[in-house]
Amino acid sequence: MTSPGSVHLRAPAGEARSETEALEATARLLDLTVEHEILDGGSAARVFRARAEDGAALAVKVLVERPGLVDGHDLAPFLRKLTQIDWARSGEPALGARYVPIAHAVRGDGWAAYTTAFHESRDSAACLRDTGPGGLDTFLRRQVRIVKDLIVYGYGQAIGAAPPDYLATVLAGRFPRRAAMLARALPSQVVAADELVVNGVLCEAPGPLLARLVASPPAWWTRSAPTRLMFPAHGDANTRNILVDLEDDPDGFLLIDPRGDTAFWDPVYDLAKMLFSLTVWDPAIRLGCDARVSPGKPLRVEVGFRHPVFPGYRDAAHRFLPLLESMADLTGLLDGDPFWRDRLLLTHALHVLAEAPCRLSDPKPKVDIAGAECTPRQLALGHYLLGTLLLNDLVARLAGPGEVDVAAHLRLVTDS
C-alpha cells in the first residue's frame, strides 16, 4: 500500500474482527476522535467522520476482510485504490486536481483504513432530488464538466489495445463469478428459474442468456466491443463518488473511492456507472425496492421501487445519452469506436445485474424516504430482477433492425 503524499502506518499485530475494532485501532494510532458514522454510501467498507488533534475534520474509511464479500468489495481492491489515486494525481492535472488525496494509510492484520480531509459537500445527483426549479439544468451543466475532466482528459491521457474477450471477461464475466452469492441468499424459485416473467415481460434467466451470448456471439455483440482501452481514471464513477457544492469551489467537484484497478479500462464503463446511478442504484437505495413473486410456470414477478422515482432522476436518465452525443470532445475521444452507445447500454444493464451480489456485501442499514428499512436481500433481489429485465429487453432490441429505442428501454426502470 503506497502513496507518497500520505503518512503510512502499520497497526500493532492483532486481529480486528470488525470494522468497529479496526476503527478503534486506527483512532488510537492517529490520535483521532471519532464523531459519527457516515451511512451515505454503497460499499462494504464503513466510513466515519473524525477529528484530528489539531481539530481538522477527517473522513475515515475502514474495511476488514471477511467471508461473503463480493469481488471488488474485498480488501485487495481496497488497498489498490491508493495506488490508483496516486496514478491519477500524478498524471493528467485536470484529473489529479479532482481527487481527494489520502492523508493516512493504515495497514493491519486482515484490515486496512485510510483517511482523507472531510469535505462539506453533496453527491452530484443531490440537485435532482431538490424540489425547486433548475436542478436538472444544474446537473447537466456539471455533468459536462465531470465528463470532460474525468473521461476526456482523464481516460484520454493514455490509450492501449483492448483484448478481444473484453465483453466476455470484464462485463459478462462478473455475473457468473458472483452468482453463488445470490443462490445462497435470494428465493430459490427465482434464481433457479430458467425463465421468468418480470413486470409482464417474459425473460430468460441471465446466467443461461449470458453463457449463450459468450459461447456464440451474435454480430451486435462482436461489433459492440471496445476498439481500445484507456488510462484507469476511476472505474466506479457513481454519483455518490462525485462530490459537489464544495464550500471553497461551488462550481467544482471532487472524486473519491475509485475502483482500485491500475489496468487500462474502458471509459464507457464509467459513463454507464453514471447512468446506472440515475436509473436503479441510487433510487433503489434511497427509495427502497420490493418484489412480489407469484407461483406458476413460468414464474411471475412484479418488482419496482417503493416510492415514485425522483422526477429529476428520470429526466436526467433520459437526457444523459443525448448529452454525451452533443459533446464534441467526448465523441472525438471515442472516434473509431462507432458502437460505443450500444456498449454503454449493455454495460448499464450488466451493472444493474452485477450489483445484486454487491448489495449483499454491504450490511449498512438502508432506510427509504419514509423511514422504513430495505434489507440487503431486498435490494439484491430488486437489482437481480431489474437487471434481468433490462438485459433481456436490450438483447432483443440489439438483435433487431434499426437503432435501439433508448427511451423505451430506459422506461422499463425509470417508470418503475
**259 assigned to some structural domain:** yes
Cα 393 to Cα 202: distance, rounded to the nearest angstrom: 10
Q: Which residues contact 173 (CB under 8 A, 6 or more apart)?
A: none
Tell me how far apart the terminal alpha carbons of the chain are, to the nearest angstrom: 43
Same domain for 162 and 54, yes or no, is no
Across 68-84, average pLDDT? 90
Q: To the nearest whole number, what is the mean pLDDT of the chain?
A: 94
Strand order of the sheet with strand 7-15?
7-15, 104-109, 111-117, 57-64, 46-51, 33-38
**2 assigned to some structural domain:** no
**1 assigned to some structural domain:** no
Q: Is the pLDDT of residue 15 over 90?
A: no
Same domain for 248 and 349, yes or no, is yes
Task: Give the pTM.
Answer: 0.96
**297 assigned to some structural domain:** yes
**Which residue, 61, 89, 117, sits at the end of a domain?**
117
Same domain for 48 and 158, yes or no, is no
**79 assigned to some structural domain:** yes
The confidence band for 246, taking pLDDT boundaries of 50, 70 and 90, is confident
Q: Is the pLDDT of residue 5 over 80?
A: no
Task: Judge contact between 307 and 287, C-beta under 8 A.
Answer: yes
Q: Which residues contact 132 (CB under 8 A, 6 or more apart)?
A: none
Same domain for 75 and 136, yes or no, is no
180 secondary structure, DSSP code: H
Chain-centre distance for alpha carbon 155: 17
CA dist 146 to 106, 142, 181, Å? 30, 6, 34
Same domain for 275 and 184, yes or no, is yes
Q: Is the pLDDT of residue 9 over 50?
A: yes
CA dist 392 to 43, 171, 206, 412, Å? 27, 15, 8, 11
**CATH number of the domain where residue 111 is located:** 3.30.200.20
**Which residue, 117, 144, 172, sits at the end of a domain?**
117
Q: Give per-residue pLDDT as tens, 340-350.
A: 999 999 999 99
Chain-centre distance for alpha carbon 379: 14
Cα 245 to Cα 243: distance, rounded to the nearest angstrom: 7
Chain-centre distance for alpha carbon 390: 17
Number of domains in the chain: 2
pLDDT of residue 2: 42
Q: Is the pLDDT of residue 328 over 50?
A: yes
CA nearest to 409, candidates 310, 391, 401, 400: 391
pLDDT of residue 68: 81
**391 assigned to some structural domain:** yes
Q: Is the pLDDT of residue 256 over 80?
A: yes
Same domain for 110 and 195, yes or no, is no
Cα 7 to Cα 405: distance, rounded to the nearest angstrom: 51
Same domain for 322 and 387, yes or no, is yes
Partnered with residue 305 across adjacent β-strands are 289
Task: Judge contact between 284 and 379, C-beta under 8 A.
Answer: yes
- Only one residue has cell 429505442, namely 405
pLDDT of residue 89: 86
Same domain for 113 and 126, yes or no, is no
Q: Is the pLDDT of residue 3 over 60?
A: no
In terms of residue numbers, what domain contains 317?
Answer: 122-414
Cα 413 to Cα 383: distance, rounded to the nearest angstrom: 11
For residue 58, the surrounding DSSP H or E stretch is strand 57-64
pLDDT of residue 363: 86
Q: Is the pLDDT of residue 1 over 60?
A: no
Cell numbers for 310: 425522483
Q: Is the pLDDT of residue 4 over 70?
A: no
Same domain for 235 and 321, yes or no, is yes
**Which residue, 102, 117, 132, sits at the end of a domain?**
117
68 vs 24, higher pLDDT: 24
Q: Give per-residue pLDDT as tens, 183-219.
A: 999 999 999 999 999 999 999 999 999 999 999 999 9
**DSSP assignment of 99-141:** BPPPSEEEEEETEEEEEEE----EETTHHHH-SSTTHHHHHHH
- Only one residue has cell 436542478, namely 135
Same domain for 112 and 215, yes or no, is no
Q: Give per-residue pLDDT as tens, 49-66.
A: 999 999 999 999 999 998
Same domain for 104 and 244, yes or no, is no
Same domain for 204 and 296, yes or no, is yes
pLDDT of residue 394: 98
